[in-house]
Amino acid sequence: MRAIEVGRYLVRSANTGVSGIVDPYGRVLGRTEIYQPAVVVGDARLLTVATVYSRVGDVFAYASAVATLVLVLFSAARRRVQ
């Protein structure tokens, strides 16, 4: 998901976990099994394109949370009046 969010290749190297290469669309290009010695060879390009998420971050999520809170409070206030 992180590769998709920022629109970049993700290359992960782990001593005791899954290593691999993920493209900007979330497709796994190469991977190893957990706790198995292995080598993954592949291409990962340096990209400069910025995604919407990389520019604004979690602003949409925070705005949605605030809007939900406002609507809940507004609904509760209307129920008290009636």
Q: Write out pLDDT tens, residues 32-76.
A: 998 888 999 999 999 988 888 888 989 999 999 999 999 999 999
Torsion of CA 68, 70, 75, 77, to 10 degrees: 160
Which pTM value belongs to this model? 0.69
Instruction: With CA atoms as reference, report the closest residue to 41 among 50, 51, 30, 32.
Output: 30
What per-residue confidence (pLDDT) applies to 81?
Answer: 75
Instruction: List the domain boundaries for the chain.
Output: 1-49, 58-82
What per-residue confidence (pLDDT) applies to 7?
Answer: 93
Q: What is the mean pLDDT of residues 13-25?
A: 92
Query: What is the DSSP code string of 31-65?
Result: E--TT-------------PPPHHHHHTTHHHHHHH
- Angstrom distance (rounded) from CA 18 to CA 41: 14
pLDDT, greater one: 78 or 29? 29
